[in-house]
Amino acid sequence: MSQIENVLHESRRFQPTAEFQARARINNEITYQRMYRQSLEDPEGFWGRIARELPWTAQWTKVLDWSKAPFAKWFVGGQINASAACLDRHLATPVANKVALLWEGEPGDTRQVTYSELADEVGRLANGLRSLGVKKGDRVAIYMPMLIESVVAMLACARIGAAHSVVFGGFSAQALRERIQDGGCTAVITADGGFRRGQIQALKPAVDEALLGLKEVHSVVVVKRGGNPVGWKEGRDHWYHELTKQSSSNCVPEAMDSEDVLFLLYTSGSTGKPKGIVHTTGGYLVGTYLTFQHVFDIRPEDIYWCTADIGWITGHSYVVYGPLQNGATVFLYEGAPNTPHLGRLWEMVQKHKLTILYTAPTAIRTFMRWGDEHPGRFDLSSLRLLGTVGEPINPEAWMWYHRVIGRERCPIVDTWWQTETGAIMITPLPGLTATKPGSCTRPFFGVDAAVVDEKGQELATNQGGFLVLKRPWPSMLRGIWNDPERYVQTYWGKFGHMYLAGDGSRRDEDGYFWVMGRIDDVLNVSGHRLSTMEVESALVSHPKVVEAAVVARPDELTGQAICAFVTVRSGEKVGPQLKVDLGEHVAREIGKLARPAEIRFTEALPKTRSGKIMRRLLRDIAAGVETVGDTSTIEDYSVLAKLRADEE
Ligand code: 7RM
C-alpha cells in the first residue's frame, strides 16, 4: 500500500542535436556505460582518479572510509584548500586572465574580475578577516545580495579555514539570528543594502537587530553597495573597502584536511527547527568539480549563468565551487527578473551573449505566465544549453523552456539533487542522453539510485516509491550541525543502509527517474496514493493555467480530498466555469479520482526563497487551521494573508 500510483504519461523524447553531440565530452552510450560501470564497480579507483586532477597539498591515504557509517570520510588524510582549488590552480595557466565573474547590478551597472583579480581580492579579504581575529575552525555568517563581494566572502572564509554559513539576504533578522546562534558564528559579512525591484533592500539593519545581545559575534564586515544610511557599532563594524584596502593580497591558504568543514547551510526541515547541513572540503570539491564539468559540458568560451542566489546550495555548488574549479566564466545578476521590465533576463542573455542558463521550474512557469513576447524581443541565439533544478518540472513548462527559450536547439538538463547531496545526482548528460519532459533521467557517475517500497525492496518498472541512494558519495553531507542523532534518524533511520532522499519517484522502462515530489506531500484519495506533482502537471497542461499547487485536506468520505490552488495566465478570467473545466480536464488527463474537490484561484503561491511551493502552509489553509511550525523561509508573507482572506 506504500506505493505511489503513476498517472503521468509522457512519451515525447528529445535527442541532442548532431552538432551538440559531436562536440560533447561524453557523446556515446558505450563510454557512458563503461564509466558508469567503473564508478560503481571500483568507486575508490574512479573517484581517486578524478580527485587527482585537483590541487591537493597532501596526498590522501584512503579514498573512502565507511567504517563508521553513516558518517563517511572521503580522501582520508588528504589536504586541500577550497579557495586554492578555485583560484590558485589557474594562476599559472591562461585562465588567470580570463573573466571569472561577470556581474550586472539591477540598475544596469556592470563589473567583471579575472581569475587573477579575484584571487587578489580574496587574498585581501582573507587577510582582513584574519586581522579581525577570524581563524581556522570558526564560523562566519554571510548575509549579502548577489555581488562579486559575496563570492569573495565565501572564498576568503575558505582560504583561512573558517566555515561559511550563507543566509539568504531576504531572510528576516529573526531567521538570521537563529542561524547565527545555532552555527556559533563569530563574525558576519554583509552589505549596507542591495537593489531589488528598483528599491534599496537594506541588510545592515537586520544584522544589527539579529545581533542584539549576541556577544559571540565580534566583527561585522560591511560592503557598501546600496549607499543607504546604516547604524554603526564602533569596534565591531568595519567597512569592507577599508578593511581590504589596508590588507595585502597575498594570503597563504590554510592547509585544510579533506574532512574539515567547508560550510554549513541551513535548510528547513519538514517541521520545526532549520537544520544546519554540514559539508566538508575534499569530497565536496571533487563532486562539484566533476558534475559541473559533465552536466554542463563546459567549454572555455562559455559564459554560464546559474540564476540561484548564493543563499542556497545551488549557488554554492554551481555559482561558486563547481564553475570556479573548472575555470569557467560565471555571470551574476543582483536584482529581480521583472525590473525594469519583464524581459530583463533575456535582455541580459542577449547583451552578454550568455551560453548556458540554469534556473528553477518555478521561474520558468513565471516567465510562461508573463508571456512569450518578452523573450521574443531578444536574440537568444547565444544559448546552447539549458538546465533546471529545484522541483519536478511539469512537461508543459519543460516544453515551453525548450521552445521559447531554447528555440528547439538547446538540450535541457533536468538535474535532481539536494542540499544534502552537495552535487547533482540524477541528470542527463547533454551530449548523450535523450531527454523526456519531466524526467531527470539517469544517475550520474558513482550514484547508485533506486526506487524502493516501505520495506526497502526495489520496485518494478514504473511503480512509485521512495527514492534512495544505496551508497555514499564524495559530496554527501557529513551531518547536521550539533545534531548527529537527527542526521542518522532523518536520512538513514528508515532503511539503515540506504540514504532516504525524502522524495517519491518511479523509474521507467529506460531506467529514467521521474521524481514525484516530497514524500510528505503524497495524496491519499480513497486509498489511491497520488503524487501532488502529477495532479499539478495535469492542471498546468490546461492552456489557461500556469501554475498549480495541490494539497490534501481531510475528508470524511474519501480520507483525503484534493484541494488545488491555481494561478492562471495573465489576462485570463477566473470563475465557476473555469473550475468546472479544470475538474473535467484533470478527470480526462488522470481519471475521476484525481478531480479536485476544491479549486481556488490565486495570484501567487507561498514559496520558499528558492522557489519551492510550501505545500505545508497550503495544507493548513485548505484544512482551515492555523499555521504552525517554521514560516521563516517563506518568500512573501502577503501571499499567505491573501490566501487566507480568500477563504470561502
Ligand atoms: C538543489 C536543491 C531538494 C529537493 C529535492 C526534491 C527537489 C530538486 C529536482 C527536484 C524534481 C529535480 N536542493 N528537487 N531538484 N525534484 N526534479 N530536478 O533544490 O535541498 O533545496 O531541495 O528539491 O524534492 O529533495 S534543496
DSSP secondary structure string, 467-523? EEE-S--TT---EETT-HHHHIIIIITTTSSSEEEEEEEEE-TTS-EEEEEEGGG-E
> How far away, in angstroms, is 403 Cα from ligand 1 center?
24
SS3 34: helix
CA proximity to 288, closest of 321, 256, 259, 329: 321
What is the pTM assigned to this prediction? 0.91
389 CA distance to ligand 1 middle (Å)? 6
Residue 194, ligand 1, Cβ within 6 A: no
The span from the CA of 136 to the CA of 157, in Å, is 9
β-bridge pairing 193-196 and 199-202 = antiparallel
Whether ligand 1 lies within 6 angstroms of the CB of 513 is answered as: no
Q: CA–CA separation, 284 vs 259, rounded Å?
A: 10
Task: Give the three cell numbers for residue 247.
Answer: 590588507
Return phi, psi of residue 562, to 5°.
Answer: -85, 130
Pocket flag, ligand 1, residue 398 (CB < 6 Å): no
- 23-27 LR contacts (CB < 8 Å, sep 24+): 23/297, 23/299, 23/431, 24/297, 24/429, 24/430, 24/431, 24/432, 25/293, 25/294, 25/297, 25/431, 26/294, 26/297, 26/429, 26/431, 26/432, 27/431, 27/432
| pLDDT beneath 50, residues of the chain | 1, 647-648
Cβ of 515 closer than 6 Å to ligand 1, yes or no, is yes
C-alpha dihedral sign at 114, 115, 119, 120: negative
Could you give the C-alpha distances from 217 to 138, 210, 266, in angstroms and in order? 11, 11, 19
Domains of the chain with CATH codes: 522-647 (3.30.300.30)
pLDDT tens digit string along 142-170? Answer: 999 999 999 999 999 999 999 999 999 98
Q: What is the CA angle 148-150-154, rounded to 5?
A: 120
How would you classify residue 133: left for phi > 0, otherwise alpha for psi between -120 and 50, otherwise beta? left
412 Cβ inside 6 Å of ligand 1? no
Q: Which atom of ligand 1 has the smallest separation from the CA of 415?
A: 18
CA of 470 to the centre of ligand 1 (A): 18
Q: Could you identify the atom of ligand 1 that is nearest to the CA of residue 416?
A: 18
State how far the Cα of 334 lies from the Cα of 330, in Å rounded to an integer: 13
Percentage of the residues of the chain whose pLDDT score is greater than 70 = 96
Does the CB atom of residue 185 touch ligand 1 within 6 A? no
Pocket test for ligand 1, best of 8, 10, 312, 418 (most atoms within 8 A of CB): 418
- Smallest CA-to-CA distance from 423 within 296, 538, 331 is with 296
Report phi then psi at 46, rounded to 5: -60, -55
Ligand 1 atom closest to the Cα of residue 518 is 24
Beta strands in 178-228 (DSSP E): 187-191, 193-196, 199-202, 219-223
Whether the CB of 267 sits within 6 Å of ligand 1: yes
**pLDDT score for 523:** 86
- Please state the φ and ψ torsions of residue 107, each to the nearest 5 degrees: -70, -5
- Residue 389, ligand 1, Cβ within 6 A: yes
pLDDT tens-digit readout, 569-612: 888 898 999 999 999 999 888 888 889 999 999 988 988 877 88
Query: Residue 121: enclosing H or E segment and its boundaries?
Result: helix 115-131
Q: For ligand 1, is residue 317 a contact (CB within 6 Å)?
A: no
Query: Is the shortest distance between the CB of 414 and ligand 1 below 6 Å?
Result: yes
Q: How far is the CA of 425 from the centre of ligand 1 (A)?
A: 10
| Ligand 1 center–CA 488 separation, angstroms | 20
Q: Using a 6 Å cutoff on CB, does residue 195 contact ligand 1?
A: no
CA of 294 to the centre of ligand 1 (A): 19
Any idea of the CA torsion for 20, 24, 29, 33, to the nearest 10 degrees?
Answer: -150
**b/e per residue, 412-441, with b = 16+ CB within 10 A?**
bbbbbbbbbbbbbbbbbbbbbbebbbbbbb
CA-nearest residue, atom 10 of ligand 1: 391
Q: What is the DSSP string of 565-609?
A: EEEEPTT---SHHHHHHHHHHHHHHT-GGGS-SEEEE-S---BBT
512 in ligand 1 pocket by Cβ < 6 Å?
no
Q: Is the CB of 391 under 6 A from ligand 1?
A: yes
610 lines ligand 1 (CB under 6 A): yes
If phi > 0 it is left, if psi is from -120 to 50 it is alpha, else beta; for residue 77 that is left
Helix/strand number for the chain, H first, E second: 22, 28
Residue 566 CB–ligand 1 contact under 6 Å: no
Q: What is the pLDDT of residue 648?
A: 37
Q: Is the CB of 390 under 6 A from ligand 1?
A: yes
Q: What are the grid coordinates assigned to 496, written together?
A: 539503515
For ligand 1, whether the C-beta of 416 sits within 6 Å is: yes
Q: Which residue lies with its CA nearest to atom 11 of ligand 1? A: 392
Q: Which amino acid is at 338?
A: N
Which residues are CB-neighbours of 192 under 8 A, at least 6 positions away?
202, 203, 204, 222, 223, 224, 225, 226, 227, 228, 230
